[in-house]
Amino acid sequence: MGDDWASYERAWAQDPDHLPRSVDLPALIAEADRAVAATLANLSRDCDAAISGESRDAPAEPRATSTEQESDLADHPNVCDPCSTSKQDGECGQSWANAPPNRSASHKWRRLYSSLCFIQAPMVRCSRPAFRQVCRAWGTRISYTHMLMAESFVKSPHARHAEFSRYEGEDRLIVQVAAKSGPTAAQAALLLRPYCDGLDLNCGCPQRWAIKEGIGAALLERPEQVADMVRSIRNAMPDGITALARASDGDDHSSGPRTVPPFLPCVVKMRIQDDLRRSVDFARQCEAAGASWLTVHGRTPTCPPSAAVRFEDVKLIRENLSVPVVLNGGVTDVGTAMEAALRTGCGGLMSANGLLDNPSMFYCGASRALMEEEMSFGKYPWEWSPQACGPVTSPAETAATGRSAEAHSPLRPVSFLWAPDRSAADAVLVRYTVPDMWQAAVTPREVISDFMRAAIRTDLIVPTTVQQVLRMARLYLSPAERNHLALLRSNLSVLSSLREIGVYVESGRIACE
What is residue 406's predicted lDDT score, i.e. its pLDDT? 41
pLDDT class for 106, splitting at 50, 70, 90? Answer: low
pLDDT class for 381, splitting at 50, 70, 90? Answer: low
Q: What region does 508 belong to: left with phi over 0, alpha with psi -120 to 50, or beta?
A: left
Higher-pLDDT residue of 455, 5? 455
pLDDT class for 129, splitting at 50, 70, 90? Answer: very high
Determine the Cα–Cα distance for residues 509 and 75; give it in Å rounded to an integer: 34
pLDDT class for 50, splitting at 50, 70, 90? Answer: low
Report which residue type is found at 162.
Answer: A
Determine the Cα–Cα distance for residues 114 and 141; give it in Å rounded to an integer: 11
Q: Mean pLDDT throughout 116-123? A: 96
| Contact indicator for 279, 272 with CB cutoff of 8 Å | yes
Same domain assignment for residues 237 and 360: yes
Last-in-domain residue among 349, 364, 379: 364
Which among 63-77, 99-113, 215-229, 392-406 has the top mean pLDDT?
Answer: 215-229
Same domain assignment for residues 359 and 450: no
Last-in-domain residue among 364, 398, 429: 364
Same domain assignment for residues 229 and 352: yes
Q: Mean pLDDT throughout 424-443? A: 84
The secondary element (H helix, E strand) that includes residue 500 is: helix 491-501
What is residue 51's predicted lDDT score, i.e. its pLDDT? 57
Higher-pLDDT residue of 122, 87? 122
Q: What percent of the chain has pLDDT over 70?
A: 73
Phi, psi at residue 98, to the nearest 5°?
A: -85, 130
Residue 372 lies in a domain: no
Same domain assignment for residues 354 and 462: no
Residue 511 lies in a domain: no
| Contact indicator for 457, 495 with CB cutoff of 8 Å | no
- Over residues 258-307, the pLDDT tens digits come to 444 557 899 999 999 999 999 999 999 999 999 999 999 999 999 998 89
Q: What region does 500 belong to: left with phi over 0, alpha with psi -120 to 50, or beta?
A: alpha
Same domain assignment for residues 352 and 489: no
Q: Mean pLDDT throughout 83-91? A: 38
Which DSSP letter does residue 388 get?
A: G
Q: What is the total count of domains within the chain?
A: 2
Same domain assignment for residues 350 and 452: no
Last-in-domain residue among 330, 364, 398: 364
Residue 76 lies in a domain: no
Helices (H), 345-383: 353-357, 368-374
Which among 106-115, 297-306, 389-398 has the top mean pLDDT?
Answer: 297-306
What is residue 100's predicted lDDT score, i.e. its pLDDT? 63
For every residue of 71-106, which 3-state class applies, written as one string?
HHHHCCCCCCCCCCCCEECCCCCCEEEECCCCHHHH
Question: Can you give the CATH number for the domain in which 147 is found?
Answer: 3.20.20.70
Residue 123 lies in a domain: yes
**Is the model's pLDDT at 134 over the cut of 80?**
yes
Same domain assignment for residues 326 and 466: no
Higher-pLDDT residue of 349, 80? 349
Higher-pLDDT residue of 494, 313? 313
| Ranges 6-15, 28-37, 142-151, 281-290: which has the least confidence | 6-15
Same domain assignment for residues 484 and 335: no
Indicate the average pLDDT of the chain. Answer: 79
Higher-pLDDT residue of 422, 468? 468
Cα–chain center distance at 267: 15
| Contact indicator for 502, 477 with CB cutoff of 8 Å | no
Q: Mean pLDDT throughout 243-252? A: 36
Residue 388 lies in a domain: no
Q: What percent of the chain has pLDDT over 90?
A: 47
Residue 100 lies in a domain: no
pLDDT class for 245, splitting at 50, 70, 90? Answer: very low
Q: Mean pLDDT throughout 101-130? A: 86
| Contact indicator for 416, 432 with CB cutoff of 8 Å | yes
| Ranges 22-31, 51-60, 218-227, 422-431: which has the least confidence | 51-60
Catalytic position from the list 47, 126, 205, 346: 205
Residue 190 lies in a domain: yes
Residue 110 lies in a domain: yes
User: What is the domain range of residue 163?
Assistant: 22-39+106-241+262-364
Same domain assignment for residues 342 and 452: no
Higher-pLDDT residue of 277, 247? 277
What is residue 478's predicted lDDT score, i.e. its pLDDT? 87
What is residue 38's predicted lDDT score, i.e. its pLDDT? 93
What is residue 162's predicted lDDT score, i.e. its pLDDT? 86
Same domain assignment for residues 281 and 170: yes
97 bridge partner residues: 430
pLDDT class for 4, splitting at 50, 70, 90? Answer: low
| Active-site residue, 205 included | yes
Q: Mean pLDDT throughout 372-389? A: 63
**Is the model's pLDDT at 23 over the cut of 90?**
no
pLDDT class for 399, splitting at 50, 70, 90? Answer: very low
Same domain assignment for residues 193 and 324: yes
pLDDT class for 21, splitting at 50, 70, 90? Answer: low
Same domain assignment for residues 354 and 488: no
What is residue 5's predicted lDDT score, i.e. its pLDDT? 53
Determine the Cα–Cα distance for residues 111 and 208; give it in Å rounded to an integer: 42
